[in-house]
Structure 1
Amino acid sequence: MECKGFLFDLDGTLVDSLPAVERAWTHWAERHGISPQEVLAFIHGKQAITSLRHFMPGATESAIQHEFELLEQMEAQDTDGVSALPGAVALLERLNALGIPWAIVTSGSIPVASARRKAGGLPQPEVFITAELVKQGKPQPDAYLLGAERLGLAPQACVVVEDAPAGILSGLAAGCQVIAVNAPAEAPKLDQVDLILSSLTQIKVEKALQGASIELIA
C-alpha cells in the first residue's frame, strides 16, 4: 500500500482504554437501571452523546447533556490501566521521523481523548479531531473527511487505521483506504478494507516518492 498520510482512531487502536470505558459505562448503566451488557455492546466507536441519546429516548436535550457532562468528567479522570497498544508509540515516532503527516480521529471529547493520549504516552498529533468538531460522528464519514482536510490531503490519499465497526464504516464512507486492526470478525464490510491485522507491530512504514509505503512484517 501507498499513502500520503495516516488517520488513526484512538481507543482500541492506539491505546487500550477498554477497562476505563467499561467502568464508566457500567456505572452509568447500573445507575439508570439498564443492562450493562446491552450498553457495552452498543457504545464502542461511537460518540458518547450518540449512545446517551440511544439509551435515553424521550429525554430532554438538557437532561442528556447533563448525563454527558457527568460521564465525560468520569472518563477524563479515570485513566487507570490506560496504556499504549503494542507498536503504537514506535509507529507514530517513525512517521514523525519520516515527516509523514498523521492525525488522531476519535469519537471521544477533548478532555477524554487528551487524557487517554497522555496516559498512553503517545506523541502529540498536529491534527486532533474530536467529537466537538463534527456534527455527525462515526459511522458517518464526517470525522475522517475533516481529518484528511486538516492534513491537507484528499481522503483517497489517506489510510484510516481502525478497530471498531463504526470507525471502519466511517473510513470506508469517507473514501479512505482502511486498515482494520483487531476488528471483530463480524464487523460489517470487513471484506472491503485494504488490510486486516492483529497488531500495529505488523506495520512497517518507509518513505516513498509520493508519501509513505506500507509493508507488512510477518
Structure 2
Amino acid sequence: MPEELHVLCKGFLFDLDGTLVDSLPAVERAWCNWADRFGIAHDEVLNFIHGKQAITSLRHFMAGHSEDEIAAEFTRLESIEASDTTGIVALPGAVALLNHLNESAIPWAIVTSGSMPVARARHKAAGLPLPEVFVTAEQVTRGKPEPDAYLLGAKLLGLAPEDCTVVEDASAGILSGLAAGCHVISVSAPENSPRLDEVDFVLQNLTEITVTRQPDGQAHVLRNT
C-alpha cells in the first residue's frame, strides 16, 4: 500500500453488499438452498459468488445447461433474494458517511453486481440514503472483475475514473476498480485478495476514514490513526 494515509478524489463509487450493507445471511440462505437443489457443496458456491453477478455464477455452475435453463434459475433466484431481507442492516459507518457526503455535496454512486430488484430491496431494508447514481447488473454487459460497472458509475457521475474512489469488500470488485483506473479502498476484504497491496487503504469498516470537502471541491479522505 502507498505510505500516505490520505486520498484526494472528486467522487465515490460504493459497492453495496458487504460494503454498505450486511446482506451475508440472506445471500448465503439463497445460494445454499440453490446449491442443495443442484447437489453442489455450499463452500464451493460461497467461495465463488461474492462480488460477481448472479448470472455469471449460474453460468459457471450450470455449464452444459441451456441459456433458457440458466435464465429460469436466475429469475427464481432473483425473486428469492429480492423478497428475503430478513437480517439485512447497514454496516458500521455507512449511513453516517453517506449522509456526510450528501451534506458536503460530494458526488457518490452505488455500483453493485446485484440486479435492480435485489439491490433496491437491500438498499431499502438497510435504510441507506438514496444515491445520485445506482448502477446494477442490468446496465453492463461484463460484470466485475471487469471494469465496466465502475467506468459506467464514473461516467454517470460526470467524473473521470481516476478522480473516483471505489469502496469495495470483494476481490472481484477490487480488481474491477483497479482495472477502471480508480483509487480503491478495501473494506473487510479477504486477506488473500489479489492486488490488495495496490489499494489505497485496507479497512475493517467505514468508521476508519474521515472525508472532508476541500475548497476546490475535492474530497480529502483521511485514514483515522
Into which bin does the TM-score normalised by the smaller protein fall?
over 0.9
Alpha-carbon offset, residue 203 of structure 1: 1.2
C-alpha separation in 2, matches of 1:210 and 1:155: 16
**Any idea what the Cα deviations from partners look like across 1:71-121, whole Å, max 9, x if unmatched?**
000000000000000000000000000000000000000000000000110
Matched, 1:52 2:43: no
Unaligned runs of 5+ in 2: 1-6
Q: CA deviation at 1:33?
A: 0.9
What displacement does 1:216 show?
1.7
Partner in structure 1 of residue 178 of structure 2: 172
State the alpha-carbon separation in 2 of the partners of residues 141 and 216 from structure 1.
25
Cross-structure match for 1:213: 220
Could you tell me whether the CA contact under 8 Å between 1:3 and 1:210 is conserved in 2? Answer: no
8 Å CA contact 1:110–1:132 kept in 2: the answer is yes
Q: Does 1:154 align with 2:160?
A: yes
User: CA–CA distance in 1 between the matches of 2:163 and 2:60?
Assistant: 34
Q: Match of 1:142? A: 148
What corresponds to 2:43 in structure 1? 37
The 1-side partners of 2:96 and 2:224 are apart by: 14
Q: TM-score by structure 1 length? A: 0.99
**In structure 1, how many angstroms separate the alpha carbons of the residues matched to 2:68 and 2:155?**
32
Q: Secondary structure at the match of 2:138?
A: helix
Aligned residue in 2 for 1:116: 122
RMSD after superposition: 0.6
How many residue pairs align between the two structures? 218
2:202 is matched with 196
Q: 1:176 & 1:140 partners in 2: Cα distance? A: 13
Report the CA distance between 1:210 and its aligned residue: 3.9
Residue aligning to 1:75:
81
Q: What corresponds to 2:187 in structure 1?
A: 181
Partners of 1:203 and 1:128 lie apart in 2 by: 23
TM-score (structure 2 length as normaliser): 0.96
Q: Which residues in structure 2 correspond to 1:82-97 (within 5 Å)?
A: 82-97=88-103
Which residue of structure 2 lines up, in the alignment, with residue 16 of structure 1? 22
**Percent pairwise identity:** 67
d(CA) in 2 for partners of 1:183 and 1:47? 18
Q: Which amino acid aligns with 1:214?
A: V
Matches of 2:58 and 2:14, distance apart in 1 = 24
Deviation of residue 11 (structure 1)? 0.2
Report the CA distance between 1:126 and its aligned residue. 1.4
Cα distance between partner residues in 2 of 1:157 and 1:126: 17
Distance 2:46 2:139 in 1: 24
What amino acid is the match of 2:94?
Answer: A
SS of residue in 1 equivalent to 2:65: coil
Equivalent position SS for 1:132: helix
